[in-house]
Amino acid sequence: MPSLKILTFPHPLLKKRSHRIERIDAQIMGLIVDLIDTMKAGPGSVGVAAPQIGVSLSACVVDVSGNRQGKDNNHGLLVMLNPEIMSSSGRSIMREGCMSVPDYTGDVERPTSITVRYLNQSEEVMTIEASGFEAVAIQHEIDHLEGILFLDRILSLKTGLFRRKSYQ
């Protein structure tokens, strides 16, 4: 499957809370493939959430293993259905970008470490601990499933928002 078009801000679907997935059927398996293909096609992309490709379901993929900030500390490709953050600790500020907000990056403060529970593509309940860049990427994608963009979390619109010069 080719990668799909990414919806961009201010598309209303990006502000909607997505629906829980009740069972993994052929449609969901197709969605997972679309998400992975779209992430791989995105310049420097480390994750995509279903609402970004126009599907209001609680599914996202994350893979920071190819990113210099994430390559030493990651779980490889994560397929997350109905993900939930169970606990978190620490606070740190990182520069975030998003394929749905192509012209800007921003400084966002989030927990440094998280424990997240989700269903994987084999319908197994998984619980993992993530930290650093991977934890940020997971939280960013889970935000998409709640209808939240990084723009909503920027510390200051005056000093925390930056016009993007290039993709890494």
**141 assigned to active site:** yes
Q: Which is nearer to Zn ion, 126 or 146 (CB)?
A: 146
* Residue 151 in the binding site for Zn ion (CB under 5 A): no
Indicate whether 108 belongs to the interface with Zn ion (CB under 5 A): no
Tell me whether residue 78 or residue 98 sits nearer to Zn ion (CB atom). Answer: 98
138 binds Zn ion (CB under 5 A): no
3-state secondary structure the chain: CCCCCCCCCCCHHHHCCCECCCCCCHHHHHHHHHHHHHHHHCCCCCEEEHHHHCCCECEEEECCCCCCCCCCCCCCCEEEEEEEEEEEECCEEEEEEECCEEEEEEEEEECCEEEEEEECCCCCEEEEEEEHHHHHHHHHHHHHHCCCCHHHHECCCCCCEEECCCCC
**Contact call for residues 88 and 117 (beta carbons, < 8 A):** no
Contact stretch for Zn ion (CB under 5 A) within 10-18, 82-90, 95-103, 154-162 = 95-103
Catalytic option among 96, 124, 134, 141: 141
Cβ 138 to Zn ion shortest distance, Å: 12
Question: Candidates 78-86, 97-105, 107-115, 156-164 — which segment interacts with Zn ion by CB under 5 A?
Answer: 97-105
| Residue from 98, 114, 135, 137 binding Zn ion (CB under 5 A) | 98
Give Cα 46 to chain centroid, integer Å: 8
When CB distances to Zn ion are compared, the closest residue is: 98
Residue 145 interacts with Zn ion (CB under 5 A): yes or no: no
Active site residues: 141
Binding site for Zn ion (CB under 5 A): 98
